Amino acid sequence: MSTIAEYAIVILLLTGGFFTLVGAIGLARLPDFYSRLHGPTKATTVGIGSIVMASVVFFSTRGEGIGISEVLIVVFLFITAPVSANIMAKAAMHMGIDPAKGTRGHPWDQ
Amino acid sequence: MMTIALQITIGMVVIAALLNVYRLIKGPDAPDRVLALDTLYINAIGLIILLGITLGTRLYLESALLIAVMGFVGTVALAKYLKRGSVIE
Amino acid sequence: MLDRLTFPQPYLSLLLFIVWQFLSNGVSGASIVMGLILAWLIPQITRGFWPERRAFVNAWKLPGYIGIVLLDIVVASVSVAKLILGGREPKSIFVSYPLELEHPLAIAILASTISLTPGTVSADVSDDNKLLLIHALDADNADEVISSIRERYERRLKEMFQ
């Protein structure tokens, strides 16, 4: 394996782990449900995206062909993450969960 | 060098999963728990891909794809249940 | 009977065929036959769910749009990571975004884009497709959020869905 590929894998892995961790810290730390919703979308998009790119680079430098299944995982997550975030926000608004103090504006109640 | 980076990344994803479990236990409301479960399955996908890199095999990618599909369906079903009181109307 | 043998959604059929080739680990005779069967069967089964309106007049602008969204995801992730690790309480805001788009698919793409870029989540669409409820994690005022989304994403989507 060439040195450049190894550096690329290391950087991609650490970026992915970092953003996954940041998303989880946000989930644990932020004050109300609506701001916690921001954590998973970020962990999905950047974190898993970087880890999967590391996997693609790793397996293609080993001469096993370019990994297509990995790309399918990322595309699927990118399509589904907004849908699940949206439906969870709708459920929270339907249950009347209050946003944290200091939030300007207000959720609809339809 | 790559082995060390791999171990650090696995550690970070495991800590992330533990933080999700904290949110899953603490709540305080049902949507928070659904959100924690949603994040947990996404972290599980990341762990499976990292395991595949560690072992040098691509066999596990299919299961990661399956978890992605099933996790999405589960999240939507749970959120729909919270919203309407039933999954299939 | 004859329209049962056609492909009612050509783009969907093409997408299904390509995805099946990816899933089956390399193109072979069996995967092509199975891909063709799936590309015919799935649109036929789900044809009742698809709206009649034609979408994507300028589909060739889509790759550029995806590139801009990916770039924004990376840039915005760093700023949200700073906010989460910084210890400062975020100044959250709910914004009612007046939509200029009319096509349902265009609204769905815009809402997905808003949710994917860190810092904003689209929470709801009003029943008449005129308003989009957005929760911004950290913004000074509503006009800032509205104008940035309108400049960056909605204008480009309007060019695609004339």
Indicate the DSSP class of residue A102: T
CA distance C118 to C72: 9
| CATH code for position C63 | 3.30.70
B6 vs C144: which has the higher pLDDT: B6
Q: Which residues contact A99 (CB under 8 A, 6 or more apart)?
A: A32, A33, A34, A106, A107, C92, C94
What is the extent of the structural domain holding B22? Answer: 2-83
Specify the number of domains making up chain B: 1
Beta strands in C53-151 (DSSP E): 93-98, 120-125, 131-136
Calculate Rg over the CA atoms of chain B. Answer: 16
Kindly state whether residue C114 falls inside one of the protein's structural domains. Answer: yes
Kindly state whether residue C35 falls inside one of the protein's structural domains. Answer: yes
Farthest-apart Cα atoms in chain A, separation? 57
Query: Contact A19/C77, CB-based, under 8 Å?
Result: yes
Say yes or no to pLDDT of C2 above 60: no
Q: Is C32 helix (H, G, I), strand (E, B) or coil?
A: helix
Start-to-end C-alpha separation, chain B:
54
B24 vs A40: which has the higher pLDDT: B24
The tokens of C8 are what? 């009612």
Kindly state whether residue A83 falls inside one of the protein's structural domains. Answer: yes
The set of chains that have 3 or more CB pairs under 8 A with B is: A
Q: What would the mean pLDDT of C91-101 be, rounded to a whole number? A: 80
Q: Which site among A41, A66, A72 would you substitute to test the C interface, given the most C Cβ atoms closer than 10 Å to its Cβ?
A: A41
Query: Contact A48/B42, CB-based, under 8 Å?
Result: yes
CA distance C72 to B5: 26
Residues C6 and C72 in one domain: no
Query: Given pLDDT bands bounded at 50, 70 and 90, which one contains residue C16?
Result: confident
Q: What would the mean pLDDT of C60-86 be, rounded to a whole number? A: 83
CA distance C32 to C158: 36
Q: How many CB pairs under 8 A join A and C?
A: 116
Q: What would the mean pLDDT of C130-154 be, rounded to a whole number? A: 80
**pLDDT, tens digit only, all 110 positions of chain A:** 678 888 888 999 998 999 899 888 888 888 888 888 887 777 777 888 899 888 888 888 877 666 677 788 888 888 888 888 888 888 888 887 777 776 676 666 55
Q: What would the mean pLDDT of C2-30 be, rounded to a whole number? A: 76
Mean pLDDT of chain C: 79
Residues C154 and C107 in one domain: yes
Query: Contact A105/C142, CB-based, under 8 Å?
Result: yes
Residue whose entry in the numeric block shows the structure tokens 């990118």: A78
Report the residue from B8, B50, B68 with minimal CB separation from A76. B68
B89 vs A88: which has the higher pLDDT: A88
The tally of CA atoms less than 13 A away on the side-chain side of residue A64 is: 16
* pLDDT for the residue numbered B21: 92
Q: Which site among B15, B18, B19 would you substitute to test the A interface, given the most A Cβ atoms closer than 10 Å to its Cβ?
A: B19
Residues C69 and C144 in one domain: yes
Task: Determine the residue type at A73.
Answer: I
Query: Contact C81/A110, CB-based, under 8 Å?
Result: no
Indicate the DSSP class of residue A104: B
Angle among Cα A73, C115, B35 to the nearest 5 degrees reads: 75
Say yes or no to pLDDT of C11 above 80: no
Chain A residues close to C123, C-beta within 8 Å: 34, 86, 89-90, 93, 107
What is the extent of the structural domain holding A28? Answer: 3-94
- CB-neighbour burial class of residue C152 (10 A; exposed 0-12, middle 13-18, buried 19+): middle
Query: Contact A89/C135, CB-based, under 8 Å?
Result: yes
* pLDDT for the residue numbered C54: 61
Task: Determine the residue type at C4.
Answer: R
Task: Determine the residue type at B9.
Answer: T
The tokens of C1 are what? 């009977």
* pLDDT for the residue numbered B10: 92
Residues C66 and C33 in one domain: no
Interval B50-63: pLDDT, tens: 998 888 887 888 88
Residues C45 and C64 in one domain: no
CA distance C73 to A78: 11
The tokens of C36 are what? 């063709």
The secondary element (H helix, E strand) that includes residue B38 is: helix B30-55
Chain C residues close to A82, C-beta within 8 Å: 111-116, 122
* pLDDT for the residue numbered B47: 92
**What is the torsional sign of CA B63, C22, A9, C66?**
negative
Report the residue from A43, A58, A72 with minimal CB separation from B39. A43
Query: Does residue C101 contact residue C154 with C-beta atoms inside 8 Å?
Result: yes
Residue whose entry in the numeric block shows the structure tokens 């000074």: C140
Query: Contact C116/A110, CB-based, under 8 Å?
Result: no
Query: Contact B61/A67, CB-based, under 8 Å?
Result: yes
The tally of CA atoms less than 13 A away on the side-chain side of residue C33 is: 3
What is the extent of the structural domain holding C27? Answer: 2-49
Residues C142 and C68 in one domain: yes
Query: Given pLDDT bands bounded at 50, 70 and 90, which one contains residue C52?
Result: low
- φ/ψ of B5, rounded to 5, equals -60, -40
The set of chains that have 3 or more CB pairs under 8 A with C is: A
Chain A residues close to B35, C-beta within 8 Å: 27, 33, 36-37, 40, 88
Kindly state whether residue B71 falls inside one of the protein's structural domains. Answer: yes
Residues C83 and C128 in one domain: yes
Kindly state whether residue C149 falls inside one of the protein's structural domains. Answer: yes
Specify the number of domains making up chain A: 1
CA distance C44 to B75: 27
* pLDDT for the residue numbered B18: 92
Say yes or no to pLDDT of C24 above 80: no
CA distance B45 to C27: 26
